[in-house]
Structure 1
Amino acid sequence: MNLSIAITAMVNSTAAPSQPNGSTDVLLTNPQDYSNGTLKELDEVAPTYDWSPEIQGVILSSLNYGSFLAPIPTGYVAGVFGAKYVVGVGLFISSILTLLIPLAADAGVALLIVLRVVQGIAQVMVLTGQYSIWVKWAPPLERSQLTTIAGSGSMLGTFIVLLVGGLLCQTIGWPYVFYIFGGIGCACCLLWFPLVSDDPGNHPFISTGEKRYIMCSLAQQDSSPGWSLPIKAMLQSLPLWAILVSYFCEYWLFYTIMAYTPTYISSVLQANLRDSGILSALPFVVGCICIILAGLLADFLHSRKIFKLITIRKLFTAIGVLFSSGILVALHWVRYSHSTTMAFLVLSSASSSLCEAGVLVNFLDIAPRYSGFLKGLLQVFAHIAGAISPTAAGFFINQDSELGWKNVFLLAAAINISGLVFYLIFGQAEVQDWAKEQTFTHF
C-alpha cells in the first residue's frame, strides 16, 4: 500500500489529461495551507515523474504480474514442509525491496515494474503460507474468527500506511514512506522467527491445556497434507470452482479500491496530500473492525447452530457483495459532496468485509487437508484480477477523467455480482469426497 499513497506525490498530476493541466502545487496541496517555498523545498528532496494515469495503472498492477505464478508452489511447499520459514522469508524479501523502491523509481519505470513484480511474488509467500499455519492452529468452531482477526491485519496496516503516509509525503518527502515502512517490515521479521511455530506441538511457550484443547479439536479432522493431489477431482468440483470464480470477482473490486482510493480522493475531491492520506485511511480502519466482527458473528451463528454453515457463508457473501457494489456505483452521483463520498467509501469497505467470513474462508470448510495448496490456487485467481483491474482502471481514467471513474466502478460491480450469483448456485461448505482420503491420481 506504500505506493498507493506515495504515487499521489510522485507524479506531476493525478488527474487525467482531459482535466485542466494544473501544476503540482494546485493538485497535490492546498495553496491556502502551504506556501510555494515549502513545495519547492519538497521537490528538491523528492522528485516527481511524468507518469500518465495509464502508466500509473500499469505500475500499480505490476505487483500482481508475476504473483499468479507463485501461489500454487508456495502453498504446496508450505503445506508439506511448514509455513514458518516460507512466510518469514517472504516478509523479509518484500521489506528489503520496499526500501529500494525510491532508487528504482529514479532509475526508470521499467526497473520499478520489475522490482514490484518480484515484491509481489514475495508477498504471495506471506499471504499463502499463513493459511497452512491456521489449519494446525485453528479449532473448527473458532476458524472464522481466528482467520479474520489475522486477516484484519492487512486492513490495519493499510490504515496506518495511508494515515501516516500522506503526512510523510507532505512534510519530509515520499521516499520516507518506503524507508520507514520497509524498515518496520524488517523489524517484524526479527519477531516472526522466534515467536512462531508451524503447529502447537512445537511451540515453546504454549500452555499444556491450550495445546491439548487445539490438538483434540483437530483430531477428528483429516487436515494432514499429503504428497498426492487429486487434481482431476478438483477440476471437476463445482463447489471449488464457485470459490475460485468468487475470488477473482471480489478481488477485482478489492485491488481497484486498494490501489486507487488515495488517487480518487486526491483527484476527484481535490484533497491535499495530508488530508488525502487521512481520508483514504478511514474506510480501511472501519473494514479492519468489521472483518473481526464478521468472524465473531459467523462463529457465533455456527456454534449455536442458528444457521447451517453454508447458509452463513452465502449470507455474509451476498450482503457484502451487494451492498459494496451498489454503494460504489452510486459514488459517481455524490462526488460533489465530500462528506457523502467519504460516507459511501466507508460503508462500502464495511460491507465488503463480511465476505472475509463468507466465501473467502470457505476453502477451509471444503478441503482443510489441502488448505495450503488451495489458498495458493485461490491467490492465482486473485492476483490475475489484481494484474488486470488497476490497469483497466488506469485506461478508463486516462480516456475520460470524469466518466472514467464511473466506468471503473460499474465494471467492478458487474463482475462482483456475477461472481456472487455463481457462488450462490454452486457453493457448499461440507468437506468434499476428494479431500477426505489419499488418492494416487495426480493428473
Structure 2
Amino acid sequence: MAELSATAGKRKCSQDMQVDEKLVPKKGLNLCSTRYGVAFIIHICNFIATAQQNVMSITMVAMVNSTDHRFLFNGSTEGLPGDSFRGLNDTPDSLPAGAPVYNWSPQIQGIIFGSASYGMLLTLTLSGYLAGRVGTKRVVGVSLFASSILNIFTPLAAEFGLVPLIATRTLQSLAQGSVFGGQFALWEKWGPPHERSRLCSIGISGMILGIFTIILLGGIICQTLGWPFAFYILGAMGCVYSLLWFVLLYDDPVSHPWINVTEKEYILSSLAHQIQNGFLSALPFIIAWVTGILGGHLADFLLTKNFRLITVRKAATFLGNFPPSVLLAVLPFLTPSYITTMTLLTLSCGLGPICQSGVSINALDVAPRHSSFLMGTTRAFAYTAGILAPSVNGFLLTQDPEFGWRNVFLLLLAINLSGLIFYLVFGDADVQDWAKERKLTRL
C-alpha cells in the first residue's frame, strides 16, 4: 500500500524505476538465494495458518448432526450410530466412536464461522505497524504459536459450550490476523523492488496450498481418526514450525548470519532510496475494520425495515465494490497530490469490507447446509487473486513505468465490474432446491 500511494501520487515514478533497473544484476535472480529461502519460509507459515483458519469449514460436516431438526444451543452426543447421519450428505458407518456431535442450527454455524474473522481486520492493521517496530520475526512467530495452541484447544472449547468455542475462535482470529498482516513488513528490508512481485507470490501461494490440502485431507482425517484430530494435527504442526521460524527467519539481511555478502550488498543497495510509512499504510485498514462492522449493522437494520434479503445483499455488494473500484480508476487521471492520493486510497480500501454483508456471506442464504464448503471454496478462489495480482502488476509496471499504475487500476475496474454485474443479474438469496434437506421415509 505504501508503494502504491507513493508511485500513484508522484510523476517521478519512471525515474525511480530506471534507477532500480541499474541495481539489478543478472545473477540476482538465483532461486537458491537467501531471500528466496525467506519467501519459502513464509510460504510454509501461510500454509499452516490458512489450513488452521479453514479447518472448521471441513470438520463442521462431521461435528453437526444434520439429521436432527431439534437444534439445541449447544449439545453433543458421543458416537452416534452411523445410520443417523445418512441423507444427502452421507457419513460412513465407520465414523470414529467418541467423536462429539453437536446439534447446531445453520444460524449457530454461521456465528461460529463468522467468529474466525472478528479479530482479523483489527490485527491485520496493528500487526503491520507492530512488525515495523519490533520485527516480523517476533510478531508472526508468536502469533503462529498462539494460533496453533488455540487450534489444539478448539475441540475442548466446543465441549464446554458455544460461548467458549466462539471466544477461542475469536482469539485465534486475532492471532491469525497478525500472522497474515505482520509478514509484509519483512519485504521492506528483504525484497528488492523488481523482485517483490515474485517473492510475495511465493509467500502468498502458501495460502492456496493450505486450503487445497485441508479440503483434500480434512475429510479423510475426520473419517479415520475423528474430527478433533484435524485440529490437533494442524495445531501440533504450527507449534513445531513456530519454533523453526525463530531459528530460520531474520528480519533483515544485515542480521542474517549465513547470507552471501554479494547478495546482502545487492539487497541493501536496491533499497537505499526507498521510503515507507507504516502509519499511512495501516490507515486504510483501520477504516476498513470500522466500515466492515458498521456495514453488518446497517444490513441487519434494513432487514428489520422489511427490505428484501436479496436487495440488501446486492446493495451491500455494490457499495463495497463499485465506489472503491472507481476511486482507484480515476486516481491516475487526477492532478498529483499527496493528500488526494491518500484520501482516495483510504476510501477505496475502507469501503471494500461492506461486501462482507453482501456476496461474502451469501452462501449462508442460498445453501446453509453446504455453506462451509462453498465459503471455503470461494475463499480459495479469492486467494488466487493475491497470487496473480503481484505478478500482473509487476508485468504492467515493467512494460510501462510511467503509466503502469493507470493500467493496473483500469484492469482492476474491469474485473470488479464484470463480477459485480454478474452478481447483480444472477445473484439470489433463496435456499436453492439442491440445498434443501430432504426428509427420509423408512418402510
Q: TM-score range by the shorter chain?
A: 0.5 to 0.7
Aligned partner of 1:418 in structure 2 is none
- Identify which of 170, 175, 178 aligns with 2:228: 175
The higher-RCO structure (CA 8 Å, 6+ apart) is 1
Point out the structure with max Rg over C-alpha: 2
SS at match of 2:274: coil
Which of residues 254, 276, 279 is equivalent to 1:201?
A: 254
Equivalent pair of 2:144/2:176 in contact (CA under 8 Å):
yes
Kept in 1: contact 2:146–2:175 (CA 8 A) = yes
Taking structure 1 as reference, are residues 53 and 230 closer, same or farther at Cα in structure 2, changes over 3 Å only? closer
On the 8 A contact 1:28/1:266 being kept in 2, the answer is no
Counterpart of 1:49 in structure 2 is 102
Instruction: Compute the displacement of 1:160 (Å).
Output: 0.8
Q: Which residue pairs with 2:160 in the alignment?
A: 107
2:344 alignment partner, one of 222, 239, 258 = 239
Counterpart Cα distance in 2 of 1:230 and 1:174: 40
SS at match of 2:102: coil
How far does residue 172 in structure 1 lie from its aligned partner after superposition? Answer: 2.3
Any conservation in 2 of the 1:155–1:285 contact (CA below 8 Å)?
Answer: yes
Could you tell me how far apart the structure 2 residues matched to 1:251 and 1:12 are? Answer: 28
Contact 1:15–1:401 under 8 Å retained in 2: no
Kindly indicate whether residue 56 of structure 2 is the aligned counterpart of residue 3 of structure 1: yes
1:164–1:403: structure 2 CA closer, same or farther, 3 Å change rule?
same
* Equivalent position amino acid for 2:404 in 1: L
8 Å contact from structure 1 (residues 6, 166) kept in 2: yes
CA distance, structure 1, for counterparts of residue 67 and residue 399 of structure 2: 50
Aligned equivalent of 1:299, options 388, 394, 398: 394
Match of 1:317 in 2: 412
Structure 1 CA distance for aligned equivalents of residues 353 and 168 of structure 2:
24
User: Residues 218-265 of structure 1, C-alpha deviation per residue, up to 9 Å, x if partnerless?
Assistant: 1111237689x999x9899322323423542566679648x979x959
For residues 61 and 235 of structure 1, the distance between their equivalents in structure 2, rounded to whole angstroms, comes to 35
Is 1:146–1:295's contact at 8 Å kept on the other side of the alignment? no
CA 147–182 in structure 1, closer or farther in 2 if over 3 Å, else same: same
Do the aligned partners of 1:67 and 1:124 also contact (CA within 8 Å) in 2?
Answer: yes
Matches of 1:7 and 1:237 in 2, distance apart? 42
SS in 1 for 2:195: helix
Structure 1 residue 310: Cα displacement: 2.1
Tell me if 1:139 matches 2:244.
no
* Superposed counterparts of 1:84-99, under 5 Å: 84-99=137-152
Aligned residues: 320
Alignment of 1:34-433 (within 5 A): 34=92, 36=93, 38-39=94-95, 42=96, 44-223=97-276, 237-245=342-350, 247-249=352-354, 256=361, 267=370, 291-305=386-400, 308-325=403-420, 401-402=431-432
What amino acid does structure 2 have at the position aligned with 1:295?
P
Q: Alpha-carbon deviation of 1:284?
A: 6.7
Name the residue aligned to 1:26: 87
Note if contact 1:158-1:281 (Cα within 8 Å) is conserved in structure 2: yes
**C-alpha deviation, 1:69, in angstroms:** 4.1
The answer to whether the 8 Å contact 1:63/1:120 transfers is yes
Matched residue of 2:87: which SS? helix
Unmatched segments (≥5 aa) in structure 1: 269-275, 334-395, 406-443
User: What's the CA shift string for 1:41-70, capped at 9, x where partnerless?
Assistant: x3x331211111111111111122244443
- Write the deviation string for residues 396-420 of structure 1: whole angstroms up to 9, x where unpaired: 7xxx533999xxxxxxxxxxxxxxx
In 2, the alpha carbon distance for the partners of 1:160 and 1:330 equals: 33
User: Compared with structure 1, are the counterparts of its residues 311 and 130 closer, same or farther at alpha carbon in structure 2 (3 Å cutoff)?
Assistant: same
SS in 1 for 2:410: helix
Distance 1:104 1:78 in 2: 30
Aligned counterparts of 1:235 and 1:74: Cα–Cα separation in 2: 26
> Displacement of 1:294 after TM fit?
3.8
CA shift digits 1:122-181 (9 cap, x unpaired): 112211211111122222233333223322221221111111112222332211111111
TM-score (norm 2): 0.61
State whether residues 128 and 183 of structure 2, in contact with CA within 8 Å, keep that contact through their aligned partners in structure 1.
Answer: no
SS at match of 1:48: strand
Deviation string for 1:338-357 (max 9, x for gaps)?
Answer: xxxxxxxxxxxxxxxxxxxx
Q: Which amino acid aligns with 1:301?
A: L
- Structure 2 portions without partners, runs of 5+: 1-53, 72-82, 285-337, 436-443
Deviation at 1:95, TM superposition (A): 0.5
Contact residue 160 and residue 281 of structure 1 kept, 8 A: no
Q: Percent identity?
A: 37
Distance 1:207 1:152, change over 3 A: same
The 3-state SS of whatever aligns with 1:65 is: coil
Q: Helix, strand or coil: the match of 1:70?
A: helix
Contact 1:162 1:280 in 2 (8 A): no
The C-alpha deviation readout for 1:329-374, integer Å capped at 9, x for no partner, is: 78779xxxxxxxxxxxxxxxxxxxxxxxxxxxxxxxxxxxxxxxxx
